A and B are shown apart, each in its own frame.
Chain A
């Protein structure tokens, strides 16, 4: 049963991150995902200090808000002339530092551990269960992640066309009258939500791995957005399963193994993808040169 809950949590994290990661990779905003996953830390700590509990929707709200603030600040500095990636670097490191200082200042009151912020504690999800009127309803993390996944699916399902156009051609989308900035912030809000819900189970830095790596793998395997999203989520789930197995065998960090498994799958796709892989390209080139010689 413990395995089941851990795998279910991992699968939910992977699907939330995989779906959103596809858009991040397409819009060349992978590092913004990284920035958000770091800078939600002060939001989590502040929400925790105000609400006093560790798993409330207040935390989700506070951290999502901070994710939006991050994106806003990055945009602001970029417009004032700082290079894009430098403004990302300045903003997220500053916010992360604020978070670390807040955690250390309130080390006694706050039941947040910096190690857990980094690695997450997916092995402990089944201890923190949610019971309503005496009935055990399963781990809270699963409920939170399930809710996040539902929100993501609902928003993306409603505005799929708009998101798709914004991902590929923001200029055309703006010309057609789609509020590109609104969808940008909506996507970023969803990313921060996914980051926060995944935070406890896989930690701040490995969330990035699950956001970017499966989506990039899927990007190498297909040319259609719908298929890419599905593949990305699927690859994410597969890497959590492989990663958990490896972690049990090696007795190592579960979240670390999951990201390693995702990286392994990426390397496989990088080499053997039918259309964009190294092997396929080399074969195509050889066939072409042979054709040229024959003709």
Chain B
């Protein structure tokens, strides 16, 4: 047996060759077997999953054709997504033991569709990181080589999908946190247009950049999950209420006649030559499918990283102020209020979170605001305008997702080299665009990802290009060593 997609499982459930309960049992057994080496999960949610599997079974029995393709299919949630009554830690000690009294919008939509939640996946603390090594509960491994990182921050979600435990998992992407781990773990990872998926129930890192999205084994699956979670939400004012259309409509249209841009700045210095070679091969495939390729320029790319590392920490410094020991999560008692704050946050937050809170606090401080935050917002606007200008001439952009393949745990111990992981993904967040990573080969035995970027609200075009490429290649059918044991 091999790891299967949502589409395949949905078919099997309807033809009666399996049941939600059997799929769940297999997933749990596989997770438990893989966990000692993988640590993809912070918690398995067996009780919740059994309830959901039973309900999904009834839904399928009642109306097999009307039920969602997600009904009865096991999945996992990054531990930044709130589920009523289920411990949600964001990978942080400060939230250890905290059980939200509510379920977020995107997750609720999946639950309503009959999804079966197997567990909460490991991640960098508060989604800050690119390797999952910043998890307060220990790093996750990469199913292709467990000594290596799966990427991050949605590393647990990428790892469990790549390991074949579940066909999909939700992640969140602030600067590349879905696409980069998807690339490093050899799966599909999609970040929707900012404002397409409600953030209600997503523990905030940087509010103006965060988006929830799926990690899957196929582009079609990504579109299926996206269609289920996207759309307006009265609880999120940044969520666009306009109709979604059918995100799957463009699948199979091919890329004949599409104009694809290759940003010069995304292919140059800092990109591993082998990664560049794989991506160039992928571009050749797209060209062979009838797309026209041209080089384009996004000249302000060099400022993207510093812009991101002002805006994201600034927002995070404010978003994380609520972890003060007063009402929930960790509290280090002290007779002095100030000491209680200091000790709680000192003990509760990890090094990277503290670094970003400090950076952001500094950037927003009186006297520095104009030089840092305000200037960063201006550069952000310039970056968004450059994308908009390029999209006057091309329909989509293609590039590597990550400058390198999965690295060995502990290898990148200085923050700057870690920040470089997101250099070609984070401009997409700054501009609020949709982006996807699809497997496009190996270097030498580790997965490489191809990134496809489209204009805002053209999420379906991302699927169209990625799907055409995927269907023309075999990479997405490659199974990690751990997936070979999936049932």
On whether the two chains bind one another, the answer is no
Interface residues in chain A, defined as those with a beta carbon under 8 Å from any beta carbon in chain B? none
